[in-house]
Amino acid sequence: MRVLVTGSAGQLGQDLVLLLQKQGHEVFGCDRQEMDITDLGQCKTVIGGYAPDAVIHCAAHTAVDAAETDIDAAYTINATGSRNVALAAEEAGAKLVYISTDYVFDGMGEKPYHEYDNTDPRTIYGKSKRAGEILVQSLSSKFFIVRTSWVYGKYGSNFVKTMLKLGQEKPVLQVVNDQTGSPTYTVDLANFLLELIRTEKYGVYHASNSGICTWYEFTQAIFADAEEILGLKFTAELEPCTTEQFPRPAPRPRYSVLEHLAIRTNGFADIRPWREGLRDFLRELQ
């Protein structure tokens, strides 16, 4: 297959490009230098010129707190940019994968969110990503909307790398213990996306590693597994804390567990447990 990846310098984008190449696909990784997604003409020229079978749209404004004040930037990239990519992909006859987020829900639930539950984003980031979903659904005839959560990988900065660093530097480390979700390893997510684009099973999917934890429990696992796999020694004493102790400009979802209903009903194998993904990630860091 010929696949074009937007946001190819991001943490998911880099793993996707490598995986596509490894599996023998023709891949064109597009970052800002290659294609400005906010420019419709450029999107049509680049995507039309490459004539891909599929476009995986990873490019996004993901600075959750910054989006609260820079509203225009969030919507320009996440809504307008996604519209441009959708129009160009449709014109080229390509399948489109739009990477979305758990933030399209209010995060106040107590049971996992299904793909067709009502969305109710509480942040500008979530609202702008939901706007992107709506535009993709209305402009593309061959789309996969894939919502994911708590993403980390080898490339770029993320929670796991931050905890590995802080755990060796700080005497005490407070981590939020009242937000629940599913950590997602980029390699596992990328593998699922590659499986998806080979099909015509279009629609909305929730894709995260299976199983749930709080950020505090995730950190406990990071420390335990990093000590065993990497031989690291952590000086920090871990302390659970509440969301209120760490006020942020954008409210964080208290509960952002995604139910993998579409994965099961479309006959795909579920994504493996998050702890297995974490251990493989640490081995990769080795």
* Active-site amino acid positions: 125
- Give CA–CA dist 145/15, Å, rounded: 19
Find out whether 282 and 223 touch, Cβ atoms under 8 Å: no
Going by C-alpha positions, the residue among 206, 196, 186 that lies closest to residue 12 is 186
Going by C-alpha positions, the residue among 183, 156, 148, 118 that lies closest to residue 56 is 148
Contacts of 82 (CB under 8 A, 6+ apart): 37, 57, 98, 131, 132, 135, 136
Going by C-alpha positions, the residue among 227, 260, 48 that lies closest to residue 149 is 260
- Give CA–CA dist 94/258, Å, rounded: 27
Cα dihedral 44, 49, 52, 57 sign? negative
Find out whether 149 and 207 touch, Cβ atoms under 8 Å: no
Going by C-alpha positions, the residue among 149, 157, 170, 179 that lies closest to residue 240 is 179
